[in-house]
A = this chain, B = another copy of it.
């Protein structure tokens, strides 16, 4: 059974809901950021340029709520907290990497098009 056919995504389809989860720039960047292993909050802020601490916290909580990320607090002083992908979250690494590879390969062509047609928002 698939909901994503040529007849479209039904609005109440699990696949559709999941695409709505993932098709979020911060979610994709956090999954990418955690794909090499656990990271602390501050490390992710540094890794993902332009994300605020607050938005990162919200995104991490959201991904935890989906079962994609887990938070691990070490019993140390001062306390150390790390975030990591769950087993389910790790299944997302490959599709996110495909998107990233596309962006690397074709980002320049998009920028060129925007320059040539005056459609850049910047």
Contacts and interface: CB of A to CB of B under 8 A. Distances in A.
Interface residues on A, range: 35 or more
Interface in A52-70: 64-68
Nearest to A116: B67
Interface string A15-32: 111111111110111001
A109 B21 CA distance: 13
A29 B9 contact: yes
Nearest to A12: B49
Contacts of A2: 104
A73 interface: no
Nearest to A112: B67
A50 interface: yes
A23 B21 contact: no
B11 A50 contact: yes
A95 B88 contact: no
Given A2-B104, A47-B7, A110 B28 contact: no
B11 A19 contact: no
15 contacts: A11-B49, A12-B49, A15-B107, A18-B102, A18-B106, A19-B103, A22-B99, A23-B29, A65-B117, A67-B117, A88-B113, A91-B106, A92-B102, A95-B99, A98-B98
